[in-house]
Structure 1
Amino acid sequence: MEEGAGAELLDEACDEVVDVVLLWWRESDGDLGDALVDAVGPLAEDGVIWVLTPTSGREGHVEPSGIAEAVPAAALTQTSAIGVGENWSGIRLDFPQAAKAKR
């Protein structure tokens, strides 16, 4: 995407470099580690991944420990967490500073 261009949603078949991956994830969606490894492929070196999951008590909730266990598979670190509305929470994943220098 050109600098200054508007945001554009792309699907997982995209072969462009992206700044952000937004991944909605529920407990029954499979292996989060595999999904994160796939999501890292098109990510720019200063890009981030946001994993959105249902909040605690909602169907499909993913325990924070489940996310923490999946993150190393993609060589990412968890940098922050936010509430996204009343039914979803978000976890920001980023490349460690040392990994950014190597990419």
Structure 2
Amino acid sequence: MKKNWLGIIFIAAVFIGVAGYYGQVYVKAHNIRVELTAVNSLSQADQDRITVSPKDSTVQREWYGGEWAHKVTFHHTETESLGELIVYIGMDRETILGEENTK
């Protein structure tokens, strides 16, 4: 009788482990990078200011418009009249809250 219970417990533990592993893989695969969300929200003219890569940016958590947001600052996007390009993304990593330049 003990062997049956041990077998059932072992199978249940394996099932829970496999389900947990695939759940983590699914979440990681569908976790959108904040930088890519920010780039996709920009106009073509602003996208052209990013000469290297969207990864050449800094992401910080900041209070913006009455809520917490991801502040994505793209480096090397300065022009003579505009500073670095900044995009504010909601904590859900999808909602665009605003855009500005440092100058």
Query: TM range, normalised to the smaller chain?
Result: under 0.3
Task: Decide which structure has the larger Cα Rg and report it.
Answer: 2
What TM-score comes out, normalization by structure 1 length? 0.25
Determine which structure has greater relative contact order: mean sequence separation of CA pairs < 8 Å that are 6+ residues apart, divided by chain length.
1
What TM-score comes out, normalization by structure 2 length? 0.25
Judging by fraction of residues, say which structure has more strand. Answer: 1
Judging by fraction of residues, say which structure has more helix. Answer: 2
